[in-house]
Structure 1
């Protein structure tokens, strides 16, 4: 029996000025019906280029230079655009890494699924509505009748990812392409999404091309593994062969980076002045419940915290715990209902935007998804100069700062004339850091800024942040769901659950002698081995 998907000697050329000549070099692979193939590699290895090439969704610039992509024996290069449009979403579907980027923030999730059904010819409105309810229920979302009317921002990260999966399953595809669908999720939600995908694959007999940098995920879900390094196929085989008996040094490096979780000794910070303080912060969101009702959700509940000069304070917790809401409140991107926020001793919670503008340079934010936070239509130079120019800095000085911060984060000056889509995920995150540094802040709020990156790039970004902190005397609030990252970087940790800080203290104290039951449950996930994650997915 011929393979469902057969890729032969695929070569994708990158435009002039890129970091290398090709995104993929002479790649060949096969995928059988009902099989899960995991493609693994660090940021920039060509994983996402492979996924986009399958659906002919490559961005402007990269071009398929040679090779064949055959699906059910048919070369996709020979299909017209209308035929490809019918293939996408019906026979081959894709689950994207960041659901907030994949979903329209202005439309209810039910309406967005309905658009997919309409685009592929489901004309009967009653059939569409029933299919929406069936899909939302099938992916494990509670109360589909109510949830179909929710907007994406009203859902947690795990719920949004389930909605994206529901959209991808609308027509029971033969092949599902999953591009890092769990990388930005906490370990509990990650296990739930993996279990869901594994169950769906078994029940529907579909093939899955699963792109990831996480070897715990590989062991949980894969039948076979393919390792990429800078577009080159390094190693492939069964899960047991690649994970337990790797043949190549690059694979061993990835495995070693994924398992590193040692606590680093931190200097004492006693007696240092506070540069950021929050007292009794409260924030509630009101959501629709039925036609006339409203439901209130407490996102922040009397939160206190203190950030000392030169300190890194970790905010940890699962999806929906209130971490990102707290980060946005601290940088005044979100108004709180009550409470006090002080920047360098000055109260800012009640300041108007006009009065706040002159103070914003002191506190900057690094966002989780750098691609969503960077303007896709502006060159990097323009984006790095925007902040200083808004503060009244002369254009010549702003251009000098742009070059300087780009060098600080380890990128060449040639990057200034390129656009965000021309960089890998790790490079875009460096640009996000550079943009924050361009206004010379004293405080950085980093919201899950390494969660979507592979282990090797994570280490590079964390080392970069530590180096910048020492050189520029920065204080950092580091929001993360990954306790390994917190152990590596943070002086102190505050653990959040249900909008409250349930435990706080020095990193070693919290991780080695946790006092709260919730912290102990988080540490259970922190210490979980890849094998136990595989057991969850097999349930």
Structure 2
């Protein structure tokens, strides 16, 4: 029985064993915590600390071969380990719900958002179609999505990151669960959208009186939502207590390190490096998404509208904007994962916008992409060696050369050769992102397009990945398009910045100039959240502003 009869959730001495050969023996070691009804407990730690393993253990969704070695997980006084699979299936989504970190991975790309919420209702016994349809509309409206009758027909790729996260929250609330587990639900969102999602979750918790286990690496989020906080380091509890006590008077060195890493710091803009030849350019790029509404009607959404930009050899171009501004669509069009409706795209002076996939394939090695969520972009059924060899083999390399290249790029990103025989789920988020970078480097590209590649990482790991990218750029002579919503990251890494809003580049120029003297109102709005102000640069360079 639970040691605390008032606790909704009571975990005692939980140990989760890891496979042999990893960097430690346990994902979680002797973890104990309690969570009461109506309370929010934040679990904080850097990448690989075991935060997400806790959430998966609660829902009995641990990936093989991970297992609970010992300990008790009690919900409402009942040991979850003693429930059969059917009882757990009924518990998931009804009494305990999970909001995932990356909504695009959590949502089925082949079903509309209305169909996906409807599936959840059907799975838990709501038989009447009219009742389900009404509940879908209620949930979409409750989480603040506009025009639910129209939006329920939309597909995940047609929504912004913030809208997708609201859909995932709506699914989690379908049966008003007693416990909501939120696993890094705002880490990949821009500051404005993050604040909106946190406000939504606070309102939901207050109105419904549910308990919330909030997993995060961001102490700003902790301060905004938590009643209590628990700090994890490499699977062990470092300290826990009331949020005000831990944030203002942390007892442990590790907690102080985490707090220092996320402390507000001024923007430090990079002075632009000398411009060389243009290696990638776009002219008047346009992209629309069309989707079916009710009946036979179709709606068209403008994602890109007349985008112009240039990337010079050896430089980094930052693409900055909030969720839904068109940043990721632009990146995918530049690398030809999406086909633009009109406009020009050139790689090293060669037009590629209109090339067929067959004609484009031999050129693909020149421009490669690093994705935001490496776990979603890595095949979970393939070991790392196979993943890293796929690109070179597709480009005509011999198997022996591809194997040597796989070992070389792993060394470049700071991972041991033993990683070749392991699978993506055996690595932390930061390690998986290093693997994503290694895969992009395997075909020896001239240009990397990094789409929010550090946004989901904690502050300590984020700095390591940025330092790695800077070192690789110097060593390999790479040019980068760096897509981000974080102006501090853009300031540190980028020679030039293009600011996107509503599918348009509204302002672009040298980083130091643009951040010191932003001319477009939207750029000024973005900068208000980053104080103190930026000092003027020593040399003024031109900034172009869209009308």
Shift of 1:293: 2.3
Match of 1:534 in 2: none
Verify the 8 A CA contact 2:272 2:496 in the aligned structure 1. Answer: no
Say which SS state the counterpart of residue 222 (structure 2) adopts: helix
Match of 2:258 in 1: 254
CA offset digits 1:63-99 (Å, max 9, x no partner): 1111111111111111111111111111111111111
Aligned match for 1:340, one of 338, 341, 344: 344
Matches within 5 A, 1:520-539: 520-527=524-531
Say which SS state the counterpart of residue 397 (structure 1) adopts: helix
The answer to whether 1:328 aligns with 2:352 is: no
Say which SS state the counterpart of residue 43 (structure 1) adopts: coil
Say which SS state the counterpart of residue 53 (structure 1) adopts: helix
Say which SS state the counterpart of residue 98 (structure 2) adopts: strand
Say which SS state the counterpart of residue 449 (structure 1) adopts: coil
Shift of 1:289: 3.2
- Measure the CA separation in 1 of the matches of 2:343 and 2:129: 48
Match of 1:429 in 2: 433
The answer to whether 1:282 aligns with 2:291 is: no
Match of 2:104 in 1: 100
Verify the 8 A CA contact 1:263 1:508 in the aligned structure 2. Answer: no
Match of 1:464 in 2: 468
Shift of 1:439: 0.3
Structure 2 residue runs without a partner (length 5+): 533-547
Shift of 1:287: 2.4
Shift of 1:278: 1.1
Match of 1:453 in 2: 457
Match of 1:208 in 2: 212
Match of 2:55 in 1: 51
Matches within 5 A, 1:5-404: 5-259=9-263, 261-264=265-268, 266=270, 268-404=272-408
Say which SS state the counterpart of residue 183 (structure 1) adopts: coil
Shift of 1:268: 4.0
Judged with a 3 Å threshold, the aligned counterparts in structure 2 of structure 1 residues 190 and 268 are, in CA distance, closer, same or farther, namely closer
Say which SS state the counterpart of residue 200 (structure 1) adopts: helix
| TM-score normalised by the chain length of structure 1 | 0.96
Match of 2:420 in 1: 416
Verify the 8 A CA contact 1:261 1:488 in the aligned structure 2. Answer: no
Shift of 1:357: 1.3
- Measure the CA separation in 1 of the matches of 2:117 and 2:268: 46
- Measure the CA separation in 1 of the matches of 2:112 and 2:354: 32
Verify the 8 A CA contact 1:482 1:526 in the aligned structure 2. Answer: no
Match of 2:541 in 1: none
Verify the 8 A CA contact 2:266 2:530 in the aligned structure 1. Answer: no
- Measure the CA separation in 2 of the matches of 1:232 and 1:299: 45
Say which SS state the counterpart of residue 70 (structure 1) adopts: strand
Paired residue total: 529
Structure 1 residue runs without a partner (length 5+): 529-539
- Measure the CA separation in 2 of the matches of 1:262 and 1:489: 14
- Measure the CA separation in 1 of the matches of 2:152 and 2:284: 34
- Measure the CA separation in 1 of the matches of 2:530 and 2:195: 13
Shift of 1:526: 3.4
Verify the 8 A CA contact 1:3 1:32 in the aligned structure 2. Answer: yes
Say which SS state the counterpart of residue 7 (structure 2) adopts: coil
CA offset digits 1:311-340 (Å, max 9, x no partner): 011000011101011101111111112111
- Measure the CA separation in 1 of the matches of 2:232 and 2:275: 48
Aligned match for 1:490, one of 484, 488, 494: 494
Verify the 8 A CA contact 2:391 2:443 in the aligned structure 1. Answer: yes
Shift of 1:426: 0.7
CA offset digits 1:444-502 (Å, max 9, x no partner): 00001011111001000000000000000000000001112112211111100011111
Verify the 8 A CA contact 1:370 1:432 in the aligned structure 2. Answer: yes
- Measure the CA separation in 2 of the matches of 1:226 and 1:511: 37
Shift of 1:295: 2.2
Q: Provide runs of 4+ in structure 1 moved above 6 Å.
A: none
Verify the 8 A CA contact 1:92 1:177 in the aligned structure 2. Answer: yes
Shift of 1:277: 1.2
CA offset digits 1:124-169 (Å, max 9, x no partner): 2221111111111111111111111111111111111111111111
- Measure the CA separation in 2 of the matches of 1:159 and 1:144: 12
Shift of 1:264: 4.4
Verify the 8 A CA contact 1:262 1:488 in the aligned structure 2. Answer: no
Verify the 8 A CA contact 1:262 1:487 in the aligned structure 2. Answer: no
- Measure the CA separation in 2 of the matches of 1:66 and 1:512: 56
Verify the 8 A CA contact 2:269 2:511 in the aligned structure 1. Answer: no
Shift of 1:117: 1.1
- Measure the CA separation in 2 of the matches of 1:125 and 1:278: 47
